[in-house]
Amino acid sequence: EAGVAQSPRYKIIEKRQSVAFWCNPISGHATLYWYQQILGQGPKLLIQFQNNGVVDDSQLPKDRFSAERLKGVDSTLKIQPAKLEDSAVYLCASSGSGTSGGSFLEQFFGPGTRLTVL
């Protein structure tokens, strides 16, 4: 079974520029998550999709961040314009191919995109 794919793996941009990250979840997984992980901290949920609908985006800075999941499969996270404090690893995860609670709790993560904003 192929894992969660993310690209690019690394990105360096200047502040005020825009950037986009792409995620392809595990086939059949209905739930997709985008997390921000700052060095030395645990992952912080930015947005959760169930199929192509948004379940939770309460911690997404909507003035600069946007995300979409077209056709309930791939997803894109965009930052525009970027700030210095956006430097972090952006993790995509997927879960929930079953109906039990446990299937939602086991999240499968991609390798992440390491963003540096200069």
* Chain contacts with other proteins (rule: CB under 8 A): 4, 40-45, 48, 56, 91, 93, 101-102, 104-112, 114
- Minimum distance from CB of 5 to other proteins (Å)? 11
The CA distance from 101 to 24, in Å, is 23
**Distance (Å) of CA 2 to CA 29, 55, 81, 106:** 12, 25, 33, 16
Question: What burial letters (b/e) apply to 81-98, b meaning 16+ CB within 10 Å?
Answer: ebeeebbbbbbbbbbbbe
Measured from the CB atom, the residue of 2 and 105 that comes closer to other proteins is 105
- Minimum distance from CB of 10 to other proteins (Å)? 10
Measured from the CB atom, the residue of 35 and 65 that comes closer to other proteins is 35
- Minimum distance from CB of 81 to other proteins (Å)? 27
Measured from the CB atom, the residue of 56 and 85 that comes closer to other proteins is 56
CA nearest 77: which of 16, 13, 23? Answer: 23
